[in-house]
Amino acid sequence: MKRSKNNLRIAAFLGALLALAVAGTQPAPAADPNDMSYVFASAGGPYFGTVGVPIEFDASLSYIDNGSVIEGYYWDWDMDHNYTCFSLPTCTHTWHSAFVGKVRVHVFGPGTYMTWDEAAVTVSGPETILCVVLESNGTDLHVYDPCRRHTGVNPASGNVDEKIPASSFQLTAPVSDTSDSPSIQTIAMPLYAAGDYRIELSGTRDEPFQLSVAVLRDGKPLVERLYAGEISEGESILLNVCAACPAGQLDMACGELTLSPGLEIEPNQIELTVDPNAVYDVTLLVRETHGKVPLESVTLQCNGLAARAHEDLSSKVSFDLNNFSVGAGSEQEIHARIPISATFQGKATGSITVNCSAGVTVSVPLTVKTLGVYLPVTSGAGSYQGTVGEPVCFDASGCYDVDGYIDQYAWDWDNDGCIDEYSMMPIVCHTWDTEFSGTVTYYVYDNDGHVNTMSVEVTVTEPAAP
Ligand SMILES: [Ca+2]
Ligand SMILES: [Ca+2]
Ligand SMILES: [Ca+2]
């Protein structure tokens, strides 16, 4: 079993190398954004250098022919349209893996003067590949480079990001659903830039995982670290890898896996019917769900609890953490104290947010409302004229409620006592197919279920003959 897994891992390395060979082309240059012939940019070159040794770049042949001084030189070392700015025409940059490609410099002068040039770069020496292989059926693999560019499956879109230059993502699914073999995700990239690479595993269900982080030099594994463990649904596990090839010598330091707690709050929403000038105590159960690390540095805050024409109640809300101490897999009650001001009336919505270590946070929606006794007040009576086949729009937005808020509108188009249409919005349009002359009735509901009605007279006629 062990041997077959190692074979799989080496096959994944080789696959990643092949993918890199295909992915190695640079994107086409964008159109010149501001073609002004009297500004001239020179990137110099071509440049030749060695892995791990700084290369000096020289844009000093750039000039502005009206004599203005160039204010900045913006170099793009990996053609991703993110630039490093230098005020002098010369600077250095170091590649940590062999590279053949282009760099670009944008030259800025006073006002809008801007133009750019590209230069060819050849960096010889070893090809140094960072290769991360994850074997698991319930975990997504992500790698972020020192510029925080991402390669892996984008959690929002489901598409594959390969934002790290020349990086590749490969997924090898198991042969069949019933097979024991895990799916294998491989992310590989040339180590062009030195620095901190962040590897993130995110659990989609409770599953074991094996993670291998390796550096290959000219195709041969040079350094390899192996990690294994169990991941839970919703859990995030981080690993920092610091890598560089100073003077062509590989220097890689892998940290330890960093585990994050799982945070769950009960209830997951709070709705209080309140009286003015009273204080409410709400119990929240705070639970650690991944069972690996305790909940630490827990803080709570209440946000946005304000109603139109009422003061913000959030700042008055306080919390009793009850000597908070929640170990891995355990739970504890805490209390929120919510004072309602003497003048409060209607509804306010906000949230209680619980933060803990590792940036883990959960928000619970919070609604408070007073119980009203008055019916909604209707407004907007009048008469409407319309044409058969064209919508007639009715506006109930003048309706209001003195001790609550309007929750819903309803419409009886033929005044037969049966409601034909419900709406959350005050303006609703209706189209008659035949001529109509009669009453339309609105029903206006408040948040306590009180209802009031209003009638308008409507006349709908056939369109005038042409
Ligand atoms: Ca760049
Ligand atoms: Ca009311
Ligand atoms: Ca009706």
Torsion of CA 121, 125, 130, 131, to 10 degrees: 110
- Sheet of 360-370: strand order equals 270-274, 360-370, 347-356, 299-306
- Calculate how far, in angstroms, residue 225's C-alpha sits from the geometric centre of ligand 1: 29
Per-residue pLDDT reduced to its tens digit, 387-439: 999 999 999 999 999 888 899 999 999 989 999 999 999 999 999 999 999 99
What 3-state class would DSSP assign to 15?
helix
- Calculate how far, in angstroms, residue 347's C-alpha sits from the geometric centre of ligand 2: 11
- Look at residue 248 in the predicted model and tell me its pLDDT: 83
- Calculate how far, in angstroms, residue 415's C-alpha sits from the geometric centre of ligand 3: 5
Domain-terminating residue out of 93, 124, 155: 124
Question: Cα angle at 181 between 179 and 186, to 5 degrees?
Answer: 135
Asked whether residue 196 falls in the same domain as residue 87, the answer is: no
- Calculate how far, in angstroms, residue 26's C-alpha sits from the geometric centre of ligand 3: 66
Among all bound ligands, the one having the nearest atom to the CA of 402 is 2
92, two tokens: 């250095």
Asked whether residue 424 falls in the same domain as residue 440, the answer is: yes
Question: Which range marks the domain in which residue 56 is found?
Answer: 39-124
- Calculate how far, in angstroms, residue 167's C-alpha sits from the geometric centre of ligand 1: 14
- Calculate how far, in angstroms, residue 442's C-alpha sits from the geometric centre of ligand 1: 61
- Calculate how far, in angstroms, residue 408's C-alpha sits from the geometric centre of ligand 2: 12
Asked whether residue 247 falls in the same domain as residue 296, the answer is: no
- Calculate how far, in angstroms, residue 293's C-alpha sits from the geometric centre of ligand 1: 38
Establish if 164 belongs to a structural domain. Answer: yes
pLDDT > 90? residue 174 = no
- Look at residue 402 in the predicted model and tell me its pLDDT: 85
Domain-terminating residue out of 243, 259, 275: 259
Distance CA 75, CA 41 (A): 12
Count of structural domains, the chain? 4
- Calculate how far, in angstroms, residue 76's C-alpha sits from the geometric centre of ligand 1: 4
Among all bound ligands, the one having the nearest atom to the CA of 407 is 2
Establish if 208 belongs to a structural domain. Answer: yes
- Calculate how far, in angstroms, residue 36's C-alpha sits from the geometric centre of ligand 3: 69
**Of 5-9, 106-110, 329-333, 366-370, the least confident:** 5-9
How many residues are present in the chain?
466
Distance CA 96, CA 53 (A): 8
Asked whether residue 114 falls in the same domain as residue 139, the answer is: no
Q: Which residues pair with 31 in a beta bridge?
A: none
Flag whether the pTM goes above 0.85: no
Q: Which residues contact 404 (CB under 8 A, 6 or more apart)?
A: 345, 346, 347, 369, 370, 371, 372, 374, 446, 447, 448, 450
Per-residue pLDDT reduced to its tens digit, 212-249: 999 999 999 888 999 999 999 989 999 999 999 888 88
451-461 and 436-446 as β-strands: parallel, antiparallel, unpaired? antiparallel
Asked whether residue 16 falls in the same domain as residue 151, the answer is: yes
- Look at residue 264 in the predicted model and tell me its pLDDT: 94
- Calculate how far, in angstroms, residue 302's C-alpha sits from the geometric centre of ligand 2: 27
